[in-house]
Amino acid sequence: MKKTAIAMSLALFVMPALALAESDDTSGEITAIDKDKGSITLSDGKTYMTPSEFNFDGLKPGVKVVIYYSTTDGKRVIDDLQTE
């Protein structure tokens, strides 16, 4: 019973945080890549953060991409990226 109560308490704490993450997508041309900071900037001037293990192969300024991202704590975090 105690384990169930703890699990339910955690679920009530975590679920609202998950609900705050918004999913969206955008497309544009890469204007800058910062591998050290883990970010990609598009032609619209917005910067998108990459996950910790992100493959930058084939990405460089001028490449057109579609980015699927979630907004968490005011940061746009890439969920998926496709080249056009």
- Bridge partners of residue 21, in order along the sequence: none
Question: DSSP letters of the chain?
Answer: -HHHHHHHHHHHHHHHHHHH-EEEEEEEEEEEEETTTTEEEETTS-EEEPPSS---TT--TT-EEEEEEEEETTEEEEEEEEE-
Domain ranges of the chain: 21-83
Degrees (nearest 5) of the Cα angle 82, 22, 80?
15
Mean pLDDT for the chain?
A: 82
Q: For 8-44, write each residue's pLDDT tens digit.
A: 444 444 444 444 556 899 999 999 999 999 999 999 9
User: Would you say 83 and 58 are in contact if contact means Cβ atoms under 8 Å apart?
Assistant: yes
What is the reported pTM? Answer: 0.72
* Better-predicted residue by pLDDT, 53 or 64: 64
The class of domain 21-83 in CATH terms is mainly beta
